[in-house]
Every structure is written in C-alpha cells, then in structure tokens.
C-alpha cells in the first residue's frame, strides 16, 4: 500500500493520540477500588511485535480470536482497551504493531498475516470465530487483508475508514460479513458510508453504525457494538456444533461431520452466518471426496480394480451420509462388475 504524505501522517498521529479509547472498567481491582488494567503479553515478531491478551481458561479448548490493527501514528498499546469485553468472554485479542509507527506498507501486510499464523500455531483457535478489526489506517488495511485471506478471517469490523480499492476485489470474500463504524464528525465519514453499498453490491452483508456525535476517534461504545455484533454471529450452542463438525473434518472423519452440519443447517434458529460457515465446511467435504475419487479413478484407468475397490470401500465409510456417498456406491458397483467376469 502506498505511503501516506507526511502531512497526513502528522494529522493522523495527533488524532489517534487525542482519541485513544477510554480505559476499560473490567479487570482486577487495584488499590482504593480502582480497576487495574489486564496483563498483556508482548511478543517480538519479525521487524516488529504484537501484543496478545490471553483469557483464563482451558488452553486446549478452541477459543475465538480478534485481531485489532491500530491507526497511522499509533501503537497497539492504545488499542488495548477496545476489546476487553471480548477477553472477558474468552476470546484472545492480538494487537499487531506496524513496522513504522507512522504508517503501514506492503511489508506490514505480509507481517500481520504472519503474526496471525503465529498465534494460530501457538494457541488453539476456533477457526469459525476470527475477527479482523481496525481503526483508521488499520481499518483500511483490514479490507485488503480480508480480500487476500477470506479463508482465514470470518468477519471484519472497520472503524473510521472505508474501502480504498475497487469493490470487485472483495467478491471472493462475500461470505465475510462487515461492521462499519463512523461518525458525522469524522473526516473519513463519506468514505465509510459509501463503502457499505459498494460491499453489498458484491454480495457482502454489511452493518453500518453511523453516529452524528462521533469523530475520527469514534467512542468506546463503537468497539463494544462491534464485539457484540461479532459475538452474536455464532451463538453458543451453534458454535459448539460447528466446533464438533470442524474437529471431525480436521480428523478426516467426514461421516461424523456431515450429520452435525446437516442438522445445524436445517435448524430453525440457525443464523445466516452459521449457515454460511456450514456451507463452507460442506464444500470442504465435497472437495475431499473429489480428491479421493480422482485418485481412485486413476487406479480404475490402470485396471487396478481390486485396489480401487478396496479404496472405495474405505471411502464409503469415511463419506457415509455426505453428498458423495451415492457416487461412491456407483463406483463400487462398477468395480465389482469389472472384477466379476475375471473370476
């Protein structure tokens, strides 16, 4: 992404520092009843660092992740208060620092994704609850990162900045919902409000929060609203079912995942977002079946029918109850027909 002019950077620095989020009222009680800030880990990474808030609880259980990008001229420390509500509810919060405090560039875009991967490797993360959020330039970068990794981020919450490239590039991210927050006193107000219909035009679901009293710094309730929106996308019981299905998919036991996914998709109270996540998982199962059948077809073409039949029999169990089951039965019958005359 091109570097911002020095004058703009200076302006943004002043705005970010002046509009730092109010301190959260959550956390441990300090002396005289005051609320002490929560402990935050600082992780050196590449040419920069990131802050990480890890909630208490069983680290072996999958937990949601929020990635929050600071604005130009800021540092992740000023963003620590933004998602305290999320930490209290069991989410990890990752706050990457840009290489140059004044701005983001192409190297930052790659490094932020690498930082997220680092968190994924070190912690057990619920892959259906990963929010990318950002303020100002961090919000602008978030649009770009979602367009690059729609397989990674499951939602995006952008504050005080909008889309700065052709919306068509977001079409492949149509399954990622957006929450946009802006205020009438923000110099990016027009950019933010125009982004909503542009995203909707390529199939993205958008919530726009536009408050007349908010300026570029937004207000603490903006981040609270973003988290509540994100948390509501996957209700607790539906999230439990999604996690069970994903664990089965990760283990390659597609036959266990399929019934759970079918039940969840058809349930009356299932949210639109969860249905979208279900469809993505079902597509993963279908792709796995296609890959397995392609390998079996190679055996059939080589007239290795016994070997193909053995592999089909195994696949029948693995993909029982999925849309691939009927195809597998057909191939089993065809292989048996080829083997029978020889015997």
Q: What is the pLDDT of residue 25?
A: 40
Q: What is the pLDDT of residue 342?
A: 58
Q: What is the pLDDT of residue 38?
A: 56
Q: Which structural domain, as residue segments, surrounds residue 337?
A: 236-342
Residue by residue, what is the 3-state secondary structure of the chain?
Answer: CCCCCHHHHHHHHHHHHHCCCCCCCCCCECHHHCECCCCCEEEEECCEEEEEECCCCCCCCCEEEEEEECCCCCCHHHHCCCCHHHHHCCCEEEEECCCECCECCHHHHHHHHHHHHHHHHHCCEEEEEEEEEEECHHHHHHHHHHHHCCCCCCEEEEECCCCCCCHHHHHHHCCCCEEEEEECCCCCHHHHHHHHHHHHHCCCCEEEEEECCCCCCCCHHHHHHHHHHHHHHCCHHHHHHHHHHHHHHHCCCHHHHHHHHHHHHHCCCCCHHHHHHHHHHHHHHHHHHHHHHHHHHHHHHCCCHHHHHHHHHHHHHHCCCCCCHHHHHHHHHHHHHHHHHHC
Same domain, yes or no, for 246 and 295?
yes
Same domain, yes or no, for 36 and 176?
yes
Q: What is the pLDDT of residue 84?
A: 87
Same domain, yes or no, for 181 and 327?
no
What is the pTM assigned to this prediction? 0.86
pLDDT tens for each residue of the chain, 343 residues long:
333 333 333 333 333 433 444 333 444 444 444 444 557 899 999 999 999 999 988 999 999 999 999 999 999 999 999 998 899 999 999 999 999 999 999 999 999 999 999 999 999 999 999 999 999 999 999 999 999 999 999 999 999 999 999 999 999 999 999 999 999 999 999 999 999 999 999 999 999 999 999 999 999 999 999 999 999 999 999 999 999 999 999 998 999 999 999 999 999 999 999 999 999 999 999 999 999 999 999 999 999 999 999 999 999 999 999 999 999 999 999 999 998 765 5
Same domain, yes or no, for 33 and 176?
yes
Same domain, yes or no, for 170 and 56?
yes
In a domain, 2, yes or no: no
Q: Give the domain CATH number at 123.
A: 3.40.50.1820
Picking from 185, 204, 233, the residue at the C-terminal end of a domain is: 233
In a domain, 1, yes or no: no
Same domain, yes or no, for 100 and 195?
yes
User: Total structural domains in the chain?
Assistant: 2
Same domain, yes or no, for 164 and 246?
no
Picking from 169, 203, 233, the residue at the C-terminal end of a domain is: 233
Same domain, yes or no, for 200 and 116?
yes
Same domain, yes or no, for 173 and 51?
yes
């Amino acid at each position: 992404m091109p570097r911002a002019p020095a004058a703009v950077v200076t302006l943004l620095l002043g705005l970010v520092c002046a509009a730092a989020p109010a301190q959260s009222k959550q956390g441990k009680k300090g002396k005289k009843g005051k609320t002490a800030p929560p402990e935050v880990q600082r992780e050196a990474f590449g040419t920069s660092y990131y802050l990480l808030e890890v909630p208490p609880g069983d680290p072996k259980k999958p937990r949601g992740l929020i990635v929050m990008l600071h604005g130009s001229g800021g540092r992740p420390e000023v963003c620590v208060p933004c998602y305290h509500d999320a930490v209290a509810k069991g989410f990890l919060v990752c706050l990457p620092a840009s290489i140059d405090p004044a701005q983001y560039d192409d190297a930052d875009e790659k490094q932020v994704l690498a930082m997220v991967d680092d968190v994924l490797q070190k912690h057990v993360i619920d892959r259906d609850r990963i929010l990318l959020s950002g303020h100002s330039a961090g919000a602008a970068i978030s649009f770009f990162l979602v367009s690059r990794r729609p397989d990674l981020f499951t939602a995006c919450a952008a504050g005080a900045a909008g889309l700065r490239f052709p919306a068509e590039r977001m079409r492949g991210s149509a399954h990622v919902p957006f929450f946009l927050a802006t205020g009438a006193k923000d110099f990016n107000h027009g950019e933010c409000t125009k982004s909503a219909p542009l995203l909707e035009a390529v199939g993205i679901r958008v919530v726009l929060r536009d408050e007349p009293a908010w300026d570029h710094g937004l207000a603490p309730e903006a981040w609270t609203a973003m988290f509540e929106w994100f948390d509501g996308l996957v209700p607790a019981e539906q999230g439990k079912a999604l996690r069970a299905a994903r664990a089965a998919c990760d283990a390659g036991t597609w036959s266990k995942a399929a019934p759970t996914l079918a039940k969840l998709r058809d349930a009356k109270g299932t949210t639109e977002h969860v249905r979208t996540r279900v469809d993505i998982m079902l597509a993963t199962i279908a792709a796995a079946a296609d890959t397995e059948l392609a390998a079996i077809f190679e055996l059939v073409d080589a007239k290795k029918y016994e070997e193909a039949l053995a592999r089909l029999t195994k696949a029948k169990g693995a993909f029982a109850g999925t849309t691939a089951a009927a195809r597998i039965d057909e191939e089993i019958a065809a292989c048996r027909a080829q083997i029978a005359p020889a015997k």
